[in-house]
């Protein structure tokens, strides 16, 4: 069972994602409301995959990707982006994100991305 | 869920959307490369589809969906805009309109959309064939690249071209493409992408793109890697055949490259200019949307009626205060008077709509007509922001359609004939609206062959009208008589001679007039004059044989005091000489079958109706007053001399004279 870390500043989004994931057999090992917290949890828990929001307070998703990648170059991170954040998504990909999903989240898309990243 | 509560707004909005679509598609035909227009069409069609879908009108949703597919092909340059497709699109709009009307009338008629769906499907399929042949992707390589390939091959690298097809509803396509790009970059070296990397970044591509790269991995491995990116529908790996690629592709590509550049520049220029306008437009739209409220017309009518009643009672109060000479009351009433006038102005303005509402369907009509008739016709519209009462707007469409059809069919000559006559091959029809006093004027002018006086004369005589002694303009105006058609052939575009009199009646019913000015070989103009508003007018009250009548000030030129003996007879007609002009006189008492009162001192109200100036002989002037026109009811409908009745301050019901009918 793959272990997932959910990072999003909106509790609603975290709840939704958690719902989708747990219903489909993933284990959510942690939730982080910002990038800094995400890096902290990643280091402690070493999850298999991270879903990462882009715009967040304190530390944004892109910075978090950079820091997690620096810590673990094999980290698998999927960005969660809203429409119109194309440039940010590319920036995140350059920083090492493996895939991205676009909000509003469609469960099948989320699962597809996770499945593929976990290969 | 009960959707009926949304039905009204759905109907209204979808009608608006259809109108926008009509306009935009017409625009698109003129400017096929304008992406802004295509996008806007796409947006509107999409809205329509969404609305129809949520209302459960699946036929409409299906049809718009098919339309959208075609539009999408335009948008992505897969399909070229041509007049055949435009015609099909227009047909779609007509069908949609029909369907929406059926819903509005709740008549359970079903429209068969199979035919039109098939047409759209054909267009869609045609395109796919085209893509296949068009899209034989060209990878032009420069010598440098070729050298790399050569060296790479020696080192056991293979050259591949990957065709990557994104999932249908993929969002952020360029980020997706970038992800694929990066995935390939990790396993090899990318030589080239089609479209170019810049274009990929700007999302200048449809659902697929191509990447040429070098790698040591095999096809299966590559495919798997790329497919590991989500929202990828399909990946096809191709091994280009070395030598073919170089020679073939290069020559072809130079041409394409150049074309492409030209086009790119063009689109760039277009997009550079349009966004600014676009933004402003959007801003305007937003503003408007926030500042307007949709109101049921019935409520407005009620409002208008109530204001009308208020005006009546105000005048009654005024009269009372005059009778009893109550200064206090009088002062208050003056205040009330001002407020009612403001209120009246306001409700009148609320009811006014720009005539654009009517005019905006004509460009499309002219397009269809010119195709049908094989004539080249240009429609020029001016003053579409002229405002008219809602009732007039609703009613004036039909007569205008008739006049414009006539102009296109009978007025404008066939192209060859025009060329022979030394006229510009393109015929012009002008539709002009403007305000003149308290009237709105609409002119329909064509530069066609003009009315043939001889023909009208012959026709008149054949149906028993003596044209002797008639002025040319009188003869021309005979075309408004019942049963009058001089066209040799009857087409389904313009009438069988039932038209012009209907046009005239319709306009007269609105309190308007129509006349024709025409010069043989140069063209014909129809001039329609309409009252700006229908229900409250300024009127002059006059007395004839003891009865009070109201005459709309709109018709009145001036009023003069005369001695009855000044009336002279010429040609058996009574006239007066006023400022060196001979003005024919109509004795209202005679006209209205009243007993004439004998007095030497009478008044002449000089009225103008259209081009005619006539003096109406009345006994007494009672003064000017605001009156509310009330219809006189079905029983008395046949009284052509009156447009309606009104209630005066003293409670007296007074008839309002229809000047246009009397003179």
Sequence-distant (6+) residues with CB within 8 A of B636 are: B642
How many domains are there within chain A? 1
CB contact under 8 A, A89 and B230: no
With CA atoms as reference, report the closest residue to B410 among B314, B479, B475: B479
- Better pLDDT: A8 or B272: A8
- Return the percentage of chain A with pLDDT > 90, whole number: 48
pLDDT at site B484: 67
Residue B221 contacts A, CB cutoff 8 Å: no
Lowest mean pLDDT among B145-149, B367-371, B475-479, B590-594: B145-149
Residue A105 in tokens: 């989240």
Contacts of A80 in chain B (CB under 8 A): none
With CA atoms as reference, report the closest residue to B184 among B216, B155, B152: B216
Helix (H, G, I), strand (E, B) or coil at B126: helix
Q: Are A62 and A94 in contact (CB under 8 A)?
A: no
Band of the pLDDT at B619, cuts 50, 70, 90?
very high
Class of domain B4-134: mainly alpha
Average pLDDT of the residues of chain B: 78
Q: ipTM score of the complex?
A: 0.83
Would you call B46 a catalytic residue per the annotation? yes
pLDDT at B574 over 70: yes
Separation of alpha carbons B160 and B182, rounded Å: 16
* A21-74 tens-digit pLDDT: 999 999 999 999 999 999 999 999 999 999 998 888 888 899 999 999 999 999
- Please give the CATH number for the structural domain made up of B355-531: 3.30.565.10
Band of the pLDDT at B3, cuts 50, 70, 90?
low
Residue showing tokens 């009612």: B340
Q: Are B470 and B571 in contact (CB under 8 A)?
A: no
pLDDT at site B584: 92
Residue B453 contacts A, CB cutoff 8 Å: no
Would you call B290 a catalytic residue per the annotation? no
Separation of alpha carbons B421 and B412, rounded Å: 12
pLDDT at site B142: 67
CATH number, domain of A39, equals 3.40.50.2300
Band of the pLDDT at B445, cuts 50, 70, 90?
very high
**Which chain A residues have any C-beta within 8 angstroms of a chain B C-beta?**
81, 83, 85-86, 89-90, 93-94, 99-102, 109, 112-113, 116-117, 119
pLDDT at site A50: 95
Annotated catalytic residue within B46, B69, B97, B124: B46
End-to-end CA separation in angstroms for chain A? 13
The alpha carbon of residue B164 is apart from the nearest alpha carbon of chain A, in Å, by 16
pTM over 0.90? The answer is no
CB pairs under 8 A between A and B: 43
Alpha-helix runs per DSSP H in B352-387: 356-359, 362-373
pLDDT at site B251: 39
pLDDT at site B115: 80
pLDDT at B542 over 90: yes
Q: For testing the chain A interface, which of B177, B178, B179 should be mutated: the one with the most A CBs within 10 Å?
A: B179
The alpha carbon of residue A30 is apart from the nearest alpha carbon of chain B, in Å, by 24
What domain range includes position A114?
3-118
Sequence-distant (6+) residues with CB within 8 A of A116 are: A99, B227, B228, B229, B230
Annotated catalytic residue within B29, B36, B68, B395: B68
pLDDT at B268 over 60: no
Band of the pLDDT at A118, cuts 50, 70, 90?
confident
Would you call B406 a catalytic residue per the annotation? yes
* B623-637 tens-digit pLDDT: 888 787 777 777 777
Lowest mean pLDDT among B95-99, B105-109, B222-226, B485-489: B485-489
Class of domain B536-662: mainly beta
* B21-62 tens-digit pLDDT: 888 888 888 888 887 888 788 778 877 877 777 777 888 888
pLDDT at B132 over 60: no
Band of the pLDDT at B2, cuts 50, 70, 90?
low
Q: Are B49 and B69 in contact (CB under 8 A)?
A: no
Q: Are B645 and B634 in contact (CB under 8 A)?
A: no
- B143-249 under CATH 3.30.70.1110, yes or no: yes
């Amino acid at each position: 069972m793959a272990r997932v870390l959910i990072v999003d500043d909106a509790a609603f989004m975290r709840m939704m994602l958690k719902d989708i994931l747990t219903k489909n057999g993933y284990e959510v090992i942690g939730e982080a409301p910002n990038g800094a917290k995400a890096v902290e949890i990643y280091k402690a828990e070493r999850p298999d995959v991270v879903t990462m929001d882009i715009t967040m307070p304190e530390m944004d998703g892109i910075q978090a990707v950079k820091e997690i990648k620096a810590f673990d170059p094999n980290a698998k991170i999927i960005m969660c982006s809203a429409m119109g954040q194309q440039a940010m998504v590319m920036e995140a990909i350059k920083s090492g994100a493996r895939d991205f999903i676009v909000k509003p989240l469609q469960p099948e898309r989320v699962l597809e991305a996770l499945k593929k990243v976990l290969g | 869920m009960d959707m009926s509560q949304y039905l009204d707004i759905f109907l209204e909005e979808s009608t608006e959307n259809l109108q926008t679509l009509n306009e935009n598609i017409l625009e698109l035909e003129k400017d096929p490369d304008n992406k802004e227009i295509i996008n806007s069409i796409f947006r509107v069609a999409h809205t329509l589809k969404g609305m129809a879908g949520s209302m459960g009108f699946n036929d409409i949703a299906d049809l718009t969906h098919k339309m959208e597919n075609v539009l999408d092909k335009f948008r992505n340059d897969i399909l070229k805009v041509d007049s055949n497709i435009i015609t099909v699109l227009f047909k779609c709009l007509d069908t949609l309109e029909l369907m929406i009307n059926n819903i509005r009338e709740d008549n359970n008629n079903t429209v068969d959309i199979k035919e039109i769906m098939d047409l759209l499907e054909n267009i869609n399929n045609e395109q796919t064939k085209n893509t296949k042949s068009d899209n034989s992707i060209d990878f032009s390589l420069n010598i440098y690249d070729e050298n790399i390939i050569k060296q790479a091959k020696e080192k056991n690298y293979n050259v591949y071209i990957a065709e990557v097809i994104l999932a249908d509803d993929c969002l952020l396509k360029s980020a997706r493409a970038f992800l694929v790009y990066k995935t390939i970059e990790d396993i090899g070296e990318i030589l080239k992408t089609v479209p170019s990397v810049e274009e990929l970044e700007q999302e200048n591509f449809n659902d697929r793109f191509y990447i040429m790269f070098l790698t040591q991995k095999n096809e299966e491995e590559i495919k798997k890697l790329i497919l590991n990116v989500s929202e990828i529908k399909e990946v096809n790996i191709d091994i280009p055949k070395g030598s073919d690629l170089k020679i073939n592709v290069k020559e072809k590509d130079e041409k394409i490259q150049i074309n492409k550049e030209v086009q790119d520049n063009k689109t760039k220029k277009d997009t550079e200019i349009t966004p600014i306008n676009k933004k402003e437009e959007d801003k305007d739209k937003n503003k408007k949307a926030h500042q307007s409220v949709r109101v049921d017309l019935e409520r407005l009518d009620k409002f208008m009626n109530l204001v009308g009643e208020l005006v009546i009672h105000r005048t009654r109060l005024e009269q009372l205060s005059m009778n009893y000479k109550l200064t206090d009351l009088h002062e208050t009433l003056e205040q009330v008077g001002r407020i009612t006038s403001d209120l009246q102005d306001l409700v009148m303005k609320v009811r006014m709509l720009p005539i654009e509402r009517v005019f905006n369907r004509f460009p499309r009509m002219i397009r269809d007509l010119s195709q049908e008739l094989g004539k080249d016709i240009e429609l020029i519209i001016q003053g579409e922001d002229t405002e008219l009462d809602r009732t007039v707007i609703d009613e004036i469409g039909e007569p205008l359609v008739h006049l414009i059809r006539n102009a296109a069919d009978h007025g404008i000559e066939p192209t060859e004939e025009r060329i022979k006559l030394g006229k510009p091959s393109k015929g012009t029809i002008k539709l002009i609206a403007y305000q003149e006093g308290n009237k709105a004027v609409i002119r329909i002018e064509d530069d066609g062959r003009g009315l043939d006086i001889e023909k009208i004369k012959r026709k008149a005589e054949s149906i028993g009208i003596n044209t002797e002694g008639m002025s040319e303009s009188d003869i021309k105006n005979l075309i408004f008589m019942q049963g009058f058609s001089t066209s040799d052939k009857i087409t389904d575009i313009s009438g069988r001679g039932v038209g012009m009199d209907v046009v005239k009646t319709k306009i007269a019913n609105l309190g308007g007039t129509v006349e024709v000015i025409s010069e043989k070989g140069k063209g014909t103009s129809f001039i329609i004059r309409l009252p700006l508003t229908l229900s409250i007018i300024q009127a002059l009250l006059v007395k004839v044989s003891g009865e009070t009548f109201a005459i709309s000030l709109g018709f009145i030129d001036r009023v003069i005091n005369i001695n009855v003996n000044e009336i002279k007879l010429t040609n058996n007609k009574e006239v007066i000489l006023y400022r060196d002009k001979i003005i024919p006189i109509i004795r209202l008492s005679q006209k209205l079958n009243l007993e004439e009162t004998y007095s030497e001192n009478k008044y002449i109200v000089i009225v103008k109706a259209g081009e005619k100036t006539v003096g109406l002989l009345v006994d007494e002037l009672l003064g000017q007053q605001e009156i509310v026109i009330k219809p006189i009811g079905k029983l008395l409908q046949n009284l052509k001399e009156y447009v309606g009745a009104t209630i005066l301050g003293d409670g007296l019901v007074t008839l309002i004279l229809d000047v246009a009918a009397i003179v």
